[in-house]
Structure 1
Amino acid sequence: MTKDSAGEQDTLLDVPATPVRRRAARGAAAIAAAAPVARVTLDLAPAHLDRIFDYLVPESMDAAAQPGVRVKVRFGSQDVDGYVLARADTTSHDGTLQRIRRVVSDERVLTPEVAVLARAVADRWSGTMADVLRLAVPPRHARAELAGAGAAVDDPDPGAAPVRTPDPDAVSAQDRVARHWELYRGGAALLQRISAGGDPRAVWTALPGRTVAIPEVEDWAAGLAALARTAASAGRGVIVVLPDKRDVDHLARALDATGWSCCTARTPGDYVRLEADAGPSPRYRSFLSALHADVRVVIGTRAAAYAPVAGLGLVVCWEDGDDSLAEPRAPYAAARDVLALRSELEGAAFVVGSHGRTVSAQALLASGWAREVSAARDVVRSSAPRVRALTSTELASEGAGAAARLPTAAWRTARQALVDGPVLVQVPRAGYIPVVACSRCRASAQCPRCHGPLGLAGQRSTPQCSWCGHLAAGWRCDECGNDALRSVRVGSGRTAEELGRAFPGVPVRQSGASAPGGVLSRVEARPALVVATPGAEPVVDGGYAAALLLDAAVSTASVRLTAAERAVGRWVGAASLVRPASDGGVVLLVGDAAPAPTNALVRWDPAGLADRELAERVELSLPPAVRIASVSGDREAVSAVVSRVALAREHADFVVLGPVEIEHDERRTTDRTLARPVRTVLRVPVGEGGRLAKELAASLAVRSARREGGSVRVRLDPEEML
């Protein structure tokens, strides 16, 4: 076993490669005659083992142990999984090499392009290649692999995926969806460059109107379908990453409406769905379809960014600001950033689209790395509903009804809209009453066991801790001794109950992860009140007659840098489901939210808000104008990791913020006697971001090799700082 990494190659230039002894010891199996050394990356967690090791290839495994296959090797006293990256004739190791113990499967699941991407992602976000490969390559499913064994793995031209002979109906459908882009400035040019084999980069602001999944309607899914068909018709591979299964379903319906079909285990098709919710077997089967170049187009959720698509020519990220696209596991790379990196590595076109605009996407425009694709203001106004903000100033003349959670003006608008169709009610919090307080002194009600916040799951339920689940049946206020509670935040469940009483005889539907029926994909176009949490709004054919966006102040009350852009993104996403103003569609924003996001929604100008936010961050040296790293954990461990970063001593613009103590609730611990963890933030100019990531990775490798105590977590570009 030995290390063979590019980072240390300079020290080996004058050292002759060690020839491999081909004579087998008595009783030992012979090794392969040609290229007997396999370069293997192992599935090992310690950071100091994030390197490539050399193993001998037994003669019996010569044909199977090809680059990209899964293998079992001996490492220390245990068998470890790994992937063969390459075969070689020589090794730089001067000792005896171990032999590969077993080839798990002769399926080449790790393509050279994905291997390069995994290494680049690990380097950029101070992670390990093993962590990235766990995200990139799904677990093996033997039955699915056996079913696809007839596929050609060693195709002489893997980029030449089979293409169906287009029929007139399919060509006509493609023309219809392509016309969708004529509504946008630069849209037609984007399609032309993709079709010609170019690699344009675009930030696309989609028009409102997510109504029905047919190409004739101006819908975001029609736009994505046009992009996918254009690239595939030019013989290029396509990856489209979306936040969740509902969005994947919506895009799939749009693709099916153009004459395409989804490739399944029983029927061939034009695209595959790659999503974790599908289960191990369908997910692995879709992975193999892309690997074997049976299809050119892959649509799916976060992990689809690593799909092994042959001849990749286009990558698309829809709603890049959605929480579902932020990777919760190391190395915490967001799907948008992975796709942007992959587009550079493979020369593919890149499109990030949404109804709103994130500051990170705006930074791509400001740097000149990408171009804007958006509609003219008159086109936007003709497609958007009428938006009105019901602030306390606006409702000053309403009297006592202005102080209600559902003011009289909102009740009246909903009553009128219910005559023509369903009304959407967006509530920023799920549950019944997620946060309660003392009814006398208004002190926050805390769990007596872990001091977490108490909430109510139902009208007559016992207060329960949202951290540890403890039932606080005999709760009394620590400040005044009172035992009565009042609501601080009202969730979607309580909202649906109140609306049912306010609108007797009107059906009330709930949509959300904690709702009785879960997240609804679609509802019928008949009068009803649809209560949904952000991101769980179901689609209605023809659009909602109206939308009420409640508790606006809660949406912008966060101290995060992303609070304004996230609020506007959620509001615009819900408002996009409402009919245009010309058809009577109206959106009411209820509550005293921050002025900037409120004005951005009323004017339907999320791009303007993102531009102003970016300008402020540049002036204040905040992300994404700079690159930052968050190092959190035990104080001594954090200090040791940060002390080994040489940039702190060599670069004048290197800034260390902290360490500062982190509250116990971030660790969800019930032991109040433990020392509080700390966080240190490192800030460098964007141009030094690569060096910062490299030095942090090296520091973590030293920590791992020395087996330093304590716990540490390192995050580059942390979401809470962006």
Structure 2
Amino acid sequence: MSSENGRSGAGEPPEAAERGGEQLAFIRETVRKAKVPRAKPRTWRGAALAGSLPVARVLVDKGPVHLDQLWEYAVPAELDAAAQPGTRVRVRFGAGARNVREGRREGGGLLDGYIVERVAEAEYRGPLAALAQVLSPEPVLTPALYELCRSVADRYAGSLADVLQLAVPPRHARIEAEPSPEPLSPPARPGPGTWSRYPTGPAFLDAVSRGDSPRAVWTALPGPHWPQELARAAGTALAAERGALLVLPDGRAAARVDAELTALLGEGRHVLLTADLGPEERYRRWLAVSRGSVRVVVGTRAAMFAPVRALGLVAIWDDGDGSHSAQNAPHPHAREVLMSRAAHEKAAFLLGGFGCTVEAAQLVNTGWALPLAADRDRVRATAPMIRTVGDGDEARDEAARAARLPTLAWQTAREALKHGPVLVQVPRRGYVPRLACERCREPARCTTCVGPLEALEGDGGLRCGWCGRGQPEWHCAECGGRRLRARIVGAGRTAEELGRAFPSVPVRTSGRDHILDRVPDRPALIVSTPGAEPVAEGGYAAALLLDGWALLGFPDLRADEEALRRWLDAAALVRSQAEGGTVVIVAEPTLRPVQALVRWDPAGHAVRELADRAELGFPPVSRMAAVSGPPEAVAQFLAAAELPADAEVLGPVPMSVTAPGRPRRPGEAPPGERWDRALLRVRPGRGGALASALKTAQAARLAGRDGEPVSLRIDPLNIG
């Protein structure tokens, strides 16, 4: 058993000396002085072994980070032909051998794994266990994919086996037996199309066509053209006999690009990889990519690892969307994975979106990528008119009182409904998800668990948002009042109020429970939560962005950036100002994100945010990691970890607890448990050292079964 840098034997871990395994170094030195001859296994329990390269280095599919290494096994002669690098095998892990680093025997159960390489002799100076079975002769773990997963595991202080579970889909033998289609000949290079709207757009495509590796941060113009533009970039790479990989935040966005690729390239030249496909169909398409039958992939987060041959272009759309960060450990972000692939595989890199994250601004600021944007005259001609109204504006028309709309918003909606649909963005789903006492403004709390109360639809009364208990006799604990007011009104209640204000107009909702994909070009009110906005045929006549304070008031470092991103995504669906498109945002007009929306200047906003982060020392100017878990475990971990000398520890501080029955969010402790979280910060260029120190400390803690485990997350999404 061995690592990519060192080798070891059956049950002996590789790279232990390099990673600080003092016990392993001592044993190796003792063996060397005893002049124990190196074993060259030719038989195993009387069975003949492979005559050439009889030792296989296997990555065992076992998740704990302290077992994150390669292990050496003998290759029986009958498995010689099938046991090739990249194939799936089954091995008996730790049988009859001692794990030297941990000083204990591992269990002898059968585990799945992957052969990484075959070598002529083993480093281990004793008999090797043999491969038990070759599960499939299909080489699914290519050298490039292995190196990518290895770098991702190291960057995020995680286990290589965990990364491979994200990168390689589960096997389906029946699918492997099916022949993959023959690759089609390269298509003709498509024209630039609407890329010509950007001064450097055609030049970027020319560089891709030449086989160069340009890198660009693309601030897309509002409107429906971005899926076609992504498709043309991919088609340009394919025409140059190079592959392309496009990663989208959700299945709806991926489906739009998939449709444009089909229209541009025809059938059979690309595949769509999303979770909705089902395991068998997903594996069929993944195999077609791995075998080289297709070279263009469009998909959601998991597609970032797709083994595209001769990769020439990687692209990510809307990198600020939280769905780009994997939910399972070690939580890699698609942007960082694609940046790594672009650098190592010498592919072009394209980061696009209507908004601009601080990470994207940092890429431009450091010169790693160049900006790709339209000039200001083009932006003004393409964007809708943006009008603002403050949260405190209580003026209402008589007909609009029930709709909770300022006069400007009500008049805009009334006029726009003569020409087409109107989008209404509401920050929260539900009916009235947050309530307060009308007299003293104290938040309404459950008398049992102190959770927030919410109003049910119709005359359903009150219910706790945590424990679900009804509260028919509620009264304010502070002042005794019994009347309530809405602090935040959800999409359901908003739709009801708009229906009363515009009785002759149909009202439709789009949210987590039911998301609309498209709506026709006829008058209607479309009430949507952020991220669930459907596309309107011909564009929306207007959009109303309500309760802006709710997005801006989120207690997180990214609140302003996220609010602006949500507003831009909705406003981009509205017709241009020349076509009468208008957006009304209900938020304090003087705030920086609101002004950035008015000017349609996401890049400028990101640059100013980046400057603020640099002054405060927050990411992406610095690298940060989060350590969370039970308070005693976090304290013990921090005390034992050999952190870089310049590492700064912020905290630990108590984490908020996840409400019962609600999904756990980043930065929250499990229901009913008390957790602390500490943030670790290092200067740029020291992120690798921090990740290595945390991974080593986690491995030692798991190997010694020393206390409760802690959770590690490099580059946490939510800092607070």
Q: TM-score, normalised by structure 1?
A: 0.89
Is 2:44 the counterpart of 1:34? no
- Aligned 8 A contact 1:553 1:593 in 2: no
Shift of the 670–342 alpha-carbon distance from structure 1 to 2, 3 Å rule, reads closer
Shift of the 465–191 alpha-carbon distance from structure 1 to 2, 3 Å rule, reads same
Shift of the 467–238 alpha-carbon distance from structure 1 to 2, 3 Å rule, reads farther
1:443 positional shift: 2.8
1:259 positional shift: 4.1
- Aligned 8 A contact 2:232 2:264 in 1: no
- Aligned 8 A contact 2:454 2:463 in 1: yes
Residues 389-408 of structure 1 mapped to structure 2, 5 A cutoff: 389-392=388-391, 405-408=404-407
Shift of the 19–185 alpha-carbon distance from structure 1 to 2, 3 Å rule, reads farther
Q: Which residue of 1 aligns with 2:385?
A: 386
SS in 1 for 2:544: strand
Amino acid at match of 2:71: F
1:275 positional shift: 0.8
Residues 220-299 of structure 1 mapped to structure 2, 5 A cutoff: 220-261=226-267, 269-299=268-298
| Deviation per residue, 1:456-480 (Å, 9 max, x gap) | 3422335334344444455554445
Shift of the 9–424 alpha-carbon distance from structure 1 to 2, 3 Å rule, reads closer
Amino acid at match of 1:685: R
Q: Which residue of 2 aligns with 1:565?
A: 561
Q: Which residue of 2 aligns with 1:711?
A: 709
Give the whole-Å Cα distance in 2 for the aligned partners of 1:481 and 1:392. 28
SS in 2 for 1:567: helix
SS in 2 for 1:327: coil
Q: Which residue of 2 aligns with 1:656?
A: 649
Q: Which residue of 2 aligns with 1:164?
A: 185
SS in 2 for 1:430: coil
Shift of the 461–367 alpha-carbon distance from structure 1 to 2, 3 Å rule, reads same
Shift of the 7–253 alpha-carbon distance from structure 1 to 2, 3 Å rule, reads farther
Q: Which residue of 2 aligns with 1:551?
A: 547
Residues 184-223 of structure 1 mapped to structure 2, 5 A cutoff: 184-210=198-224, 219-223=225-229
Amino acid at match of 2:638: V
Is 2:483 the counterpart of 1:464? no
Give the whole-Å Cα distance in 2 for the aligned partners of 1:464 and 1:92. 65
Give the whole-Å Cα distance in 2 for the aligned partners of 1:454 and 1:95. 67
1:509 positional shift: 1.3
SS in 1 for 2:458: coil
The worse-fitting range, judged by mean Cα deviation, of 33-42 and 466-475 is 466-475
- Aligned 8 A contact 1:315 1:351 in 2: yes
- Structure 1 spans left out of the alignment, 5+ residues: 153-160, 211-218, 262-268
Is 2:143 the counterpart of 1:143? no
| Deviation per residue, 1:581-635 (Å, 9 max, x gap) | 0010111001337710000000100111000000111111111111111111122
- Aligned 8 A contact 2:249 2:321 in 1: yes
Amino acid at match of 2:710: V
Is 2:38 the counterpart of 1:18? yes
Q: Which residue of 2 aligns with 1:72?
A: 90
| Deviation per residue, 1:669-720 (Å, 9 max, x gap) | 564xx6x321111111011111000010000001001102223111111001
Give the whole-Å Cα distance in 2 for the aligned partners of 1:247 and 1:143. 31
- Aligned 8 A contact 2:461 2:470 in 1: yes
Is 2:123 the counterpart of 1:92? yes
The worse-fitting range, judged by mean Cα deviation, of 526-535 and 446-455 is 446-455
| Deviation per residue, 1:114-135 (Å, 9 max, x gap) | 1111110110111110111111
Residues 313-392 of structure 1 mapped to structure 2, 5 A cutoff: 313-392=312-391
SS in 2 for 1:55: strand
SS in 2 for 1:120: helix
- Aligned 8 A contact 2:643 2:694 in 1: no
1:449 positional shift: 4.7
Shift of the 239–18 alpha-carbon distance from structure 1 to 2, 3 Å rule, reads farther
- Structure 2 spans left out of the alignment, 5+ residues: 1-9, 94-106, 659-666
Give the whole-Å Cα distance in 2 for the aligned partners of 1:472 and 1:629. 41
Q: Which residue of 1 aligns with 2:587?
A: 591
SS in 2 for 1:494: helix
SS in 1 for 2:91: strand
Q: Which residue of 2 aligns with 1:521?
A: 517
Q: Which residue of 1 aligns with 2:444?
A: 445
Q: Which residue of 2 aligns with 1:181?
A: 195
Shift of the 370–491 alpha-carbon distance from structure 1 to 2, 3 Å rule, reads same
- Aligned 8 A contact 2:395 2:406 in 1: no
Q: Which residue of 2 aligns with 1:114?
A: 145
Give the whole-Å Cα distance in 1 for the aligned partners of 2:429 and 2:37. 62
1:397 positional shift: 10
- Aligned 8 A contact 2:403 2:497 in 1: no
1:45 positional shift: 2.4
SS in 1 for 2:85: coil
| Deviation per residue, 1:413-451 (Å, 9 max, x gap) | 111111111111111111112222344443323344543
1:193 positional shift: 1.1
- Aligned 8 A contact 2:627 2:678 in 1: yes
Shift of the 397–221 alpha-carbon distance from structure 1 to 2, 3 Å rule, reads same
Q: Which residue of 2 aligns with 1:8?
A: 18
Aligned-residue identity in percent: 48
Give the whole-Å Cα distance in 2 for the aligned partners of 1:363 and 1:225. 26
SS in 1 for 2:48: coil
Is 2:617 the counterpart of 1:618? no
Q: What value does the CA root-mean-square deviation take over the aligned residues?
A: 2.5
What is the aligned counterpart of 1:530 among 526, 531, 536? Answer: 526
Give the whole-Å Cα distance in 1 for the aligned partners of 2:232 and 2:392. 45
Shift of the 70–252 alpha-carbon distance from structure 1 to 2, 3 Å rule, reads same
- Aligned 8 A contact 2:391 2:586 in 1: no
Is 2:464 the counterpart of 1:496? no
1:373 positional shift: 0.3
Q: Which residue of 2 aligns with 1:61?
A: 79
Give the whole-Å Cα distance in 2 for the aligned partners of 1:556 and 1:37. 59
Q: Which residue of 2 aligns with 1:265?
A: none
Q: Which residue of 1 aligns with 2:64?
A: 46
Shift of the 400–680 alpha-carbon distance from structure 1 to 2, 3 Å rule, reads farther
SS in 2 for 1:85: strand
Give the whole-Å Cα distance in 1 for the aligned partners of 2:628 and 2:585. 38
Give the whole-Å Cα distance in 2 for the aligned partners of 1:369 and 1:667. 34
Q: Which residue of 1 aligns with 2:3?
A: none
Q: Which residue of 1 aligns with 2:629?
A: 633
Shift of the 142–594 alpha-carbon distance from structure 1 to 2, 3 Å rule, reads farther
What is the aligned counterpart of 1:126 among 157, 167, 171? Answer: 157
Amino acid at match of 1:203: V
Shift of the 342–527 alpha-carbon distance from structure 1 to 2, 3 Å rule, reads same
Amino acid at match of 1:164: S
1:401 positional shift: 7.3
Give the whole-Å Cα distance in 1 for the aligned partners of 2:220 and 2:569. 10
- Aligned 8 A contact 1:205 1:354 in 2: yes
Number of residue pairs matched? 679
Amino acid at match of 1:427: V
Amino acid at match of 1:163: L
Give the whole-Å Cα distance in 2 for the aligned partners of 1:440 and 1:639. 44
Amino acid at match of 1:224: L
